[in-house]
Structure 1
Amino acid sequence: MNKKLIRVGTTYVPVLHVDHSAKWYTEKLGATINYCDDEKAILDLADQSFFLVRSLKDETSNFIDDKGEKRFSLTFEVDGKEALYNLHAEFRTQGIQTGDIEDRGHTGENFVFFDPDGNCFDVWSVLSPEYKALRKETVSEIER
Structure 2
Amino acid sequence: MKGKLSRVGTTYLPVKEVEESATWYAEHLGAKVNYKDNDKAILQFADQSFFLVKSPLGESANFTDSYGNECFSVTFEVNGVEALANLHQDFKGRDINVGKIEDRGHAGRNFVFYDPNGNKFDVWSELSPTFRALHHQK
Q: Could you state the TM-score of these two structures normalised by the residue count of structure 2? A: 0.98
Tell me what 1:44 maps to.
Answer: 44
Tell me what 1:102 maps to.
Answer: 102
Tell me what 2:125 maps to.
Answer: 125
Q: In structure 1, what is the Cα distance between the partners aligned to 2:3 and 2:114?
A: 32
- Give the partner amino acid of 2:48: Q
Deviation per CA, 1:31-77: give whole Å up to 9, x if none.
Answer: 00000000000000101100000000010000011110100000000
Unaligned stretches of 5+ residues in structure 1: 138-144
The correspondence of residues 1-144 of structure 1 with structure 2, limited to 5 A, is: 1-136=1-136
SS where residue 4 of structure 1 aligns?
Answer: coil
SS where residue 56 of structure 1 aligns?
Answer: coil
Percent of aligned positions that are identical: 60
Q: In structure 2, what is the Cα distance between the partners aligned to 1:44 and 1:3?
A: 25
Which has a greater percent of helix?
1
Q: In structure 2, what is the Cα distance between the partners aligned to 1:26 and 1:84?
A: 19
Report the alpha carbon displacement of residue 3 of structure 1 after superposing the two structures with TM.
Answer: 2.2
Unaligned stretches of 5+ residues in structure 2: none
Q: In structure 2, what is the Cα distance between the partners aligned to 1:52 and 1:136?
A: 31
Aligned residues: 137
Q: Could you state the TM-score of these two structures normalised by the residue count of structure 1? A: 0.93
Report the alpha carbon displacement of residue 81 of structure 1 after superposing the two structures with TM.
Answer: 0.1
Moved over 3 A (4+): none
The root-mean-square deviation of aligned C-alpha atoms, in Å, is 0.9
SS where residue 118 of structure 2 aligns?
Answer: coil
